Amino acid sequence: DGGITQSPKYLFRKEGQNVTLSCEQNLNHDAMYWYRQDPGQGLRLIYYSQIVNDFQKGDIAEGYSVSREKKESFPLTVTSAQKNPTAFYLCASRARGGLTDTQYFGPGTRLTVL
Amino acid sequence: AQKITQTQPGMFVQEKEAVTLDCTYDTSDQSYGLFWYKQPSSGEMIFLIYQGSYDEQNATEGRYSLNFQKARKSANLVISASQLGDSAMYFCAMRGLYSGAGSYQLTFGKGTKLSVIP
């Protein structure tokens, strides 16, 4: 089945450590996105990529890094520079063009800093 | 800048009744899209329905319909015949044509928690 997978589902990190969240899609979508969701809040954009080997900062990119070496994969690294990384992280992808340009989401990764 | 406002933090509805979730938006774009997503307790964001700013008809998808009033800048979600499985957070989002330098970035509201009562 086509879809978006994120791993791990739950992630625990000690302060000062970098961690990488995985996002893979087999929808053949060109664009991919990373969002952060805090309790009681909507989603905020961290980074996005419209094509391989290219990505752009979103509204809250500080303390995060990404890469896009393959069309299917868009991993997010939460660095030690991120002051408050505990949150729910959602990855999304979108087909280029199309009438609605709808973004489809993965199941999310819940990151907790101990 | 774009803004989405959802004024109802929580809503209750009786099973089999209809419910309307409010969403108002603000944008200077002439062309834009409006989306509704459902987020169950598992966390995944599930796409429900889309309305384009130039669409003359209100969008419908099964039990979901979008009451689009362009002059009022509102895009309310109507769920007919509520089911227990409809209990979830619901987010309204919009995408401007040129938002984020072509990123098709979505701007989200803070959501409404819907609880369906048996």
- Supply the DSSP symbol for A100: S
- Which residues of chain A lie closer than 8 angstroms to B33, CB-CB? 100-101
Alpha-carbon dihedral sign for residues A43, A44, A45, A46: negative
Do the chains contact at A40 and B44, CB–CB below 8 Å? no
Give the residue from B97, B108, B112, B113 with the most A CB atoms within 10 Å of its CB, the best one to mutate.
Answer: B108
Q: How far apart are CA A38 and CA A42, in angstroms?
A: 7
Residue with the larger pLDDT of the pair B59 and B100? B59
A58 in contact with B at a CB cutoff of 8 Å?
Answer: yes
Q: How far apart are CA A47 and CA A83, in angstroms?
A: 17
Q: Half-sphere exposure of residue A30, counting CA atoms within 13 Å on the CB side?
A: 10
Min Cα separation A25/chain B (Å): 15
**Peptide bond preceding A107 in cis form (omega within 30 of 0):** no
Do the chains contact at B45 and A92, CB–CB below 8 Å? yes
A2 in contact with B at a CB cutoff of 8 Å?
Answer: no
In chain B, the residue whose alpha carbon lies closest to the alpha carbon of A41 is B110
Name which of A88, A102, A103 is nearest B43 (Cβ-Cβ).
A88
Contacts (Cβ under 8 Å, ≥6 apart) of A72: A24, A25, A26
In chain B, the residue whose alpha carbon lies closest to the alpha carbon of A95 is B104
Q: Residue A2: is its pLDDT beyond 90?
A: no
Q: How far apart are CA B17 and CA B3, in angstroms?
A: 30
> For the segment A61-101, what is each residue's pLDDT rounded down to a tens digit?
999 999 999 999 999 999 988 889 999 999 999 977 655 67
For B54-80, what is the mean pLDDT? 95
Spatial CA neighbour of B24 closest among B69, B67, B73, B92 = B73
What percentage of chain A exceeds 70 in pLDDT? 95
Strand partners, B95: B33, B106
Whether residue B68 contacts residue B60, with contact meaning beta carbons closer than 8 Å, is answered with: no
Name which of B93, B105, B108 is nearest A48 (Cβ-Cβ).
B105
The pLDDT of residue B31: 84
Spatial CA neighbour of B21 closest among B55, B43, B49 = B49
Q: Which two tokens stand for residue B5?
A: 């406002």
Please tell me the least confidently modeled range out of A39-43, A107-111, B44-48, B59-63. Answer: A39-43
CB pairs under 8 A between A and B: 67
Contacts (Cβ under 8 Å, ≥6 apart) of B44: A105, A106, A107, A108
